[in-house]
Amino acid sequence: MRVAVIGGGPGGLYTAALLKRQDPGHEVTLWERNAPDDTFGFGVVLSDETLGGIEGADPDVYAALRRSFVRWDAIDVVHRGRALRSGGHGFAALGRHRLLRILHERCRGLGVDLRFRTEAPPAAELARGHDLVVAADGVHSATRAAHSGHFRPTLTTHRCRYIWLSAGFAFDAFRFEIAETEHGVMQLHGYPYAPDASTVIVEMREEVWRRAGFDRRTEEETLRACAALFADALGGRPLRSNRSTWTAFRTVVNARWAYGRTVLLGDAAHTAHFSIGSGTKLAVEDALALAGQLAAHPDVPAALAAYEAERRPLVESTQRAARASLEWFEELEWRRDRTPRRFAFDLLTRSRRVTHDNLRLRDPAFVAAVEAEAGVPAGTPPMFTPFTLRGLTLRNRVVVSAMDMYSATDGTPGDFHLVHLGARALGGAGLVMTEMVCVSPEGRITPGCTGLYAPEHEAAWRRITDFAHTAAPGTAVGVQLGHSGRKGSTRLMWEGIDDPLPEGGWPVAGPSPLPYRPGVSQVPRELDADELRAIRWQFANAAASAARAGFDLLELHCAHGYLLSSFLSPLTNHRDDAYGGDLPRRLAYPLEVFDAVRAVWPADRPMTVRISATDWAPGGTTADDAVTVARAFAAHGADAVDVSTGQVVPDERPAFGRSYQTPFADRIRSEAGVPVIAVGAISSWDDVNSLILAGRADLCALGRPHLYDPHWTLHAAAEQEYAGPGVSWPVQYRAGSRKPPVGRRG
């Protein structure tokens, strides 16, 4: 093959070396517009996994790297003058100049044509004379820009400014340090990359950077100011620059990575924030995968398709983790008041890749100290600690999330609901929530939705709560009250979610005459003052009935685009009266309903509110709005906020991923000072322990895991070998309280 490589960074160089090594007959040419020794940044961190791939693909490069590495296994978190160390992590780093020299030597030894100080011809021109064009031309890729219509890039610039610097000594750990200044919070990320040198990254929010005057400082002034900020960490030593400039991190995502014979690699294809690793690591892994697929497929287009199929899921997972880490540092301001060890644990687990369980394996003493500081009894997983809301103490932090079953008859729950909710009550969770229970026939989502607007409903629900309280003592049962609003009169979920009923439907209503799905859904009737009073009474009447039915907790459903949620969102509330306009007026009616319910709900029983913390749509509810909404409900007596997101408008674009909604709960808990229930792709007991111990949530609600396994909480206790008061096996099930042994062969 004739191969053209655009860009002489580590990704481009390593790709060139691998391809030439695979087949010396390949003609490989690399263009780099800078000189060989021109580079930015200082140290490069590589994981053991990446090094293993390098060792298998090119032992010579691996051997050279191994001779140059500095290694360490500790992370220091320094906050308000207190340093806490966690060990057992394992890092390897070397200088970027040294890495480039190793790759230059390897390429020259293999016969790669390296053309420095030479601008590469456009990729389209190279493709006419080459079998493969590798565009490793960085975050500002000219190749990507020239063919943006095909690659379809999304570039997101984030809210912090950072600068790469260096210090003339080696840290003995990966160091994170916080400086609280009159201008705002600033942070240092530092790590060694040579026996006598460390990378030092200084980062802060854009507005802090401007208030501190860094936008007006010279390079020398910046070095002195940063060294003074972190004088203790640096031991009074100066900082060095390498034409370093302040920049804002940019996340690069591409819909496609390949175009004909041209393929994007490294930062040209994707970026991930430096706080979870290095772009060099991703680029080297790209090179390994690309070379492997080219060896496996004689056809270049097939090889490029296989390369993207192999790498994209891994890269997207890394980018989700990087986004979580990046946002953690962006939102550092409202996290800084956590206790020292909890702050450190929160930082270490910020990306969700390091969790309570694997951190406990790496450094059990550190995790034990965090647990002790948080008041977790020895030998108790954090998820099995009790939590009190008003007069109700839950024995553990697990909630069976509200899940619509669409299986009622005229609003009456039947045997299905008894078995469904009864099984989850037996399964060990501290709190079991009903589905959304509707306050009127017109407030149902579908004909199969449950209600609390008729005497037979109350009796049927009493049957269920009596069973749960008798068969599973210590389990609390909560009711979620709601009204479908403009999302009502639709088919059962499995018959067509959000599709209108073909017959037998009922008129829908909302704050404004805006259909959920224009051209498909009914146009809702705009509710007038009399109708709003009637619905408020329906909520209060249902709440009184719920109290008589024996529920321990009541949740008001103000999320997911249903009636009360529609009042909160500017995308669905276009009223010009006292219930529309700015956020305080959009809050008015939901707060009136809350007050009416709280007035009839027993004073010793807690009441929570479920909200959508973002609409995931331009012009909709924001995370800032969510904090305001949570504060308002807390001021009116809400004991906790159940923090969900979205489902308000059909054209939403959620950032799906593991525990993807929990940052909204974390922020509300910290800024509004109200307990929170976290939801959203929380699937493992390890995630629950991590969220609770980090202080990001007080309770965790899980839906799908409890559909998969009604006894999820009991099994979580068994798997953690926990048998304390935070969970109770029904006497009938105690023989199964140990995980069955795995069968043996032979």
The H-assigned helical ranges of 650-703 are 662-672, 685-694
Distance of CA 102 to CAs 64, 108, 186, Å? Answer: 7, 10, 35
108: how many CB neighbours lie within 10 A of its CB? 12
Write the CA distances from 142 to 25, 245, 559, integer angstroms: 29, 21, 44
Closest CA to 488 of 471, 505, 463, 468: 505
- Which of 196, 44, 175, 20 has its CA nearest to residue 109? 20
d(CA 624, CA 645): 13
Residue 150 one-letter amino acid: H
Residue type, 111: G
Active site residue 562: yes
The DSSP secondary-structure symbol of 224 reads H
> Among residues 381, 398, 419, which one has the least CA distance to residue 713?
398
Residue 306 in tokens: 């296989």
Task: Assess contact for 514 and 574: CB atoms under 8 A.
Answer: yes
State the CB neighbour count (10 A cutoff) for residue 36. 14
The one-letter amino acid code at 249 reads: F
Placement of tokens 């207190």 in the chain: 82
d(CA 100, CA 81): 38
Q: Give the DSSP H or E segment for 105.
A: helix 96-110
Token output for 707:
């559909």
* Residue 572: other Cβ atoms inside 10 A: 25
- Residue 147 half-sphere exposure, CB side, CA atoms within 13 Å? 24
Cβ pair 413, 713 in contact under 8 A: no
| H-type alpha helices, 527-613 | 529-548, 563-568, 583-600
Torsion of CA 438, 440, 441, 443, to 10 degrees: -60
**Contact (CB, 8 A) for 258 and 129:** no
Set 259, 406, 562, 589: catalytic member: 562
Handedness of CA 566, 572, 577, 583 (dihedral sign): positive
Q: First CA to last CA across the chain, in angstroms?
A: 51
Alpha carbons 211 and 219: distance in angstroms, whole number: 17
Say if CB 583 and CB 567 are below 8 A apart.
Answer: no
Query: Which H or E run contains 306?
Result: helix 300-330
Cβ atoms of residues 545 and 458 within 8 Å? yes
HEC string of 1-21 equals CEEEEECCCHHHHHHHHHHHH
Say if strands 70-72 and 91-95 run parallel, antiparallel, or are unpaired: antiparallel
The residues, any chain, with a CB within 8 Å of residue 744's CB and separated by 6 or more, are none
| Listed residue (188, 192, 149) closest to 168, CA to CA | 192
The tally of CA atoms less than 13 A away on the side-chain side of residue 170 is 14
Please give the positions annotated as active site. 562
